[in-house]
């Protein structure tokens, strides 16, 4: 059987042989080849634009779905919806597809849409500046290449730079350790004493697999997650055939998933009492799987469901109920050469530590050191002024720069691919509008941006992420939510469906 790594190696496109000293001139540079960058590239082609490149720091495409290869890695929005609307598929093997299938899907879309050959792999954008005299961006990559472009579209993603906790003694630990997002498949967990630190979306997917292999599993939990019952199952063959053959069936099924997910937005945004029945269901999920009342209590969150990402699994709680698992909710004080030691002084000897401690959510942008017309680079500018954008797509001071899955366009309840697609359509309209009048420069008006930000922050202040009694990666260090879109996704569709020229300075 061919492994994911073999398939990836076979499809990996070599770095293009480009003359080192010559800059590459293109109309559009897209940064990143995940759902965002590939979707943008596909739509540029569809609209007849060929003068673009995709710069990707890694050696293969896929973003999130290239990086995360841990056992059990899968999407948590059904694949019928967690896929492009312009490239729907009826033959997903399961309702929630696994990582290799999603990575394969992205590869297929890129091949089919003629995007693969437009990707320059191994080109990490490390710096850049806006040239006012040329009305162009100059971008530099870590391999010494320069790209000069009229427009830059960032698809750098938010969830791919692993966040390692700062625990005293990390360097003293002599066993094996790795982060879930860079899973070390050479480490044999069979019979080992394994510690998992963290209980977020990745952990609940891989913990059941680790528990089966490990001699003992010690799970270090800071805050429990709400986990709803969820049985992933193979899509019955007749249904797959129907979805495959009849486009309308596929569209209807996709819409059913979409509206089912949308119904949650009401409870998340200001009507959190509506989430109580869902909490009851999650409590039942604990009760039916966990025998020990003390463990049940440890696993029951005290915050409102939805405040952190709502998770789903039928295997997670049984894995924690197993004989070889210990759940520790004391905070970790330090690591020694062979143990995790808690603040209460208990030492847990371990051979392997797996960090399931999430991602540097804003670091994708922090590393995007592009100097705008304002004279500052983006991270410095946003650190000084706060992260402000218009629609999560454009930001004042940075002409001709567009974001995909930018600030406040993430979701807690539906597929972000929907959001990405609205952004792509909006950017296409902006570029076409400029081309239509022979303009070369576009910058959002600061007043428009301010109005947008005030409005969404007002709405977010009523949302469960602010009022639900938890801290989460949705909030920045000041407690401001710079991550989530506060509302229904169709409201975002409505907000972005027209490109309003009056909101921009166009020259």
Ligand X SMILES: Cc1cc2nc3c(=O)[nH]c(=O)nc-3n(C[C@H](O)[C@H](O)[C@H](O)COP(=O)(O)OP(=O)(O)OC[C@H]3O[C@@H](n4cnc5c(N)ncnc54)[C@H](O)[C@@H]3O)c2cc1C
Binding site for ligand X (CB under 6 A): 31-37, 55-58, 63-64, 68, 73, 75-77, 82, 124-125, 155-157, 159-160, 202, 364, 367, 404-405, 411, 415-416
Q: How far apart are CA 501 and CA 507, in angstroms?
A: 11
Smallest distance, ligand X to C-beta of residue 128, A = 10
Nearer to ligand X, 167 or 484 (CB): 484
Nearer to ligand X, 39 or 397 (CB): 39
Nearer to ligand X, 180 or 388 (CB): 180
Please, what sign has the CA dihedral across residues 204, 471, 181, 295? negative
Smallest distance, ligand X to C-beta of residue 344, A = 32
Q: How far apart are CA 391 and CA 326, in angstroms?
A: 45
Pairing state between β 504-506 and 176-179? unpaired
Quickly count: other Cβ atoms within 10 Å of residue 345's Cβ.
8
Q: How far apart are CA 131 and CA 459, in angstroms?
A: 37
Smallest distance, ligand X to C-beta of residue 421, A = 12
Nearer to ligand X, 160 or 193 (CB): 160
Quickly count: other Cβ atoms within 10 Å of residue 369's Cβ.
16
Smallest distance, ligand X to C-beta of residue 370, A = 10
> Which of 124, 142, 152 is CA-nearest to residue 378?
152
Helix locations, 182-291, DSSP H: 201-213, 237-245, 247-268, 276-289
Nearer to ligand X, 216 or 395 (CB): 395
Smallest distance, ligand X to C-beta of residue 310, A = 11
Q: How far apart are CA 133 and CA 145, in angstroms?
A: 21
Nearer to ligand X, 304 or 413 (CB): 413
Q: Confirm if 227 and 285 have CB atoms less than 8 A apart.
A: yes
Nearer to ligand X, 64 or 321 (CB): 64
Nearer to ligand X, 201 or 352 (CB): 201
Reduced to 3 states (helix: H, G, I; strand: E, B; else coil), residue 345 is coil
> Which of 67, 37, 64 is CA-nearest to residue 53?
37
Smallest distance, ligand X to C-beta of residue 419, A = 8
Please, what sign has the CA dihedral across residues 421, 427, 431, 433? positive
Q: What is the 3-state secondary structure (H, E, C) of 126-183?
A: EEEEEECCCCEEEEEECCCCEEEEEEEEECCCCCCCECCCCCCCHHHCCCEEEEHHHC
Smallest distance, ligand X to C-beta of residue 36, A = 3
Smallest distance, ligand X to C-beta of residue 392, A = 12
Nearer to ligand X, 34 or 306 (CB): 34
The residues pairing with 25 across neighbouring beta strands, listed in sequence order, are: 148
**Residue-wise DSSP of 322-338:** STTEEEE-SPEEEE-SS
Nearer to ligand X, 350 or 356 (CB): 356
Q: How far apart are CA 80 and CA 129, in angstroms?
A: 40
Smallest distance, ligand X to C-beta of residue 364, A = 6
**Residue-wise DSSP of 287-318:** HHH---HHHHHHHS-SSPTTSS--EE-SSHHH
Q: How far apart are CA 484 and CA 468, in angstroms?
A: 14
Nearer to ligand X, 210 or 411 (CB): 411
Smallest distance, ligand X to C-beta of residue 143, A = 11
Q: How far apart are CA 214 and CA 173, in angstroms?
A: 19
Smallest distance, ligand X to C-beta of residue 279, A = 21
Please give the biggest Cα pair distance in the chain.
70
Nearer to ligand X, 68 or 389 (CB): 68
Smallest distance, ligand X to C-beta of residue 410, A = 8
Q: Confirm if 384 and 443 have CB atoms less than 8 A apart.
A: no
Q: Confirm if 145 and 18 have CB atoms less than 8 A apart.
A: yes
Q: How far apart are CA 450 and CA 391, in angstroms?
A: 11
């Amino acid at each position: 059987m061919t492994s994911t790594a073999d398939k990836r190696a076979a499809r990996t496109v070599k770095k293009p042989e480009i003359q080192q000293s010559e800059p590459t001139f293109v109309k559009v540079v897209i940064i990143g080849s995940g759902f965002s960058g590939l979707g943008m590239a596909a739509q540029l082609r569809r609209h007849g634009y060929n003068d673009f490149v995709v710069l990707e720091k890694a050696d293969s495409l896929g973003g999130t779905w290239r990086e995360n290869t841990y056992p059990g890695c899968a999407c948590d929005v059904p694949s019928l919806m967690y896929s492009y609307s312009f490239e729907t598929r009826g033959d997903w093997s399961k309702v929630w597809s696994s990582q290799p299938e999603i990575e394969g899907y992205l590869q297929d879309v890129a091949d089919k849409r003629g995007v693969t050959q437009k990707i320059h792999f191994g080109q990490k954008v490390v710096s850049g500046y806006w040239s006012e005299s040329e009305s162009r961006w100059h971008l530099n990559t870590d391999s010494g290449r320069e790209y000069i472009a009229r427009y830059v579209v960032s698809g750098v993603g938010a969830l791919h730079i692993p966040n390692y906790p700062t625990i005293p003694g990390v360097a003293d630990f002599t066993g094996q350790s790795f982060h879930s997002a860079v899973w070390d498949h050479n480490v044999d967990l069979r019979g080992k004493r394994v510690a998992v630190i963290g209980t977020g979306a990745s952990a609940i997917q891989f913990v059941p697999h680790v528990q089966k292999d490990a001699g003992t599993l010690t799970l270090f939990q800071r805050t429990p997650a709400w986990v709803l019952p969820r049985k992933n199952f193979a899509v019955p063959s007749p249904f797959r055939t129907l979805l495959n053959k009849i486009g309308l069936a596929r569209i209807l099924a996709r819409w059913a998933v979409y509206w089912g997910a949308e119904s949650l937005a009401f409870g998340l945004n200001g009507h959190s009492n509506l989430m109580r029945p869902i909490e009851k269901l999650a409590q039942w999920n604990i009760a039916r799987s966990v025998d020990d009342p003390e463990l049940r209590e440890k696993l029951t969150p005290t915050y409102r469901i939805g405040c952190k990402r709502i998770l789903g699994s039928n295997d997670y709680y049984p894995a924690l109920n197993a004989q070889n698992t210990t759940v520790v909710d004391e905070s970790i004080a330090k690591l020694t050469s062979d143990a995790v030691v808690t603040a209460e002084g208990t030492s847990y000897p371990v051979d392997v530590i797996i960090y399931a401690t999430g991602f540097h959510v804003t670091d994708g942008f922090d590393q995007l050191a592009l100097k705008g017309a304002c004279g500052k680079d983006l991270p410095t500018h946003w650190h000084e002024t706060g992260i402000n954008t218009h629609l999560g797509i454009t930001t004042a001071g940075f002409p001709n720069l567009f974001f995909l899955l930018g600030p406040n366009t993430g979701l807690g309840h539906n597929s972000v691919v929907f959001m990405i697609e609205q952004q792509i359509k909006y950017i296409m309209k902006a570029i076409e509008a400029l081309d239509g009048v022979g303009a070369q420069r576009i910058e959002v008006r600061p007043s428009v941006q301010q109005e947008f930000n005030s409005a969404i922050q007002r709405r977010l202040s009523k949302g469960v992420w602010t009022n639900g009694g938890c801290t989460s990666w949705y909030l920045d260090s000041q407690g401001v939510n710079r991550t989530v879109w506060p509302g229904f996704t169709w409201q975002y569709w409505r907000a972005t469906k027209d490109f309003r020229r009056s909101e921009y300075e166009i020259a």
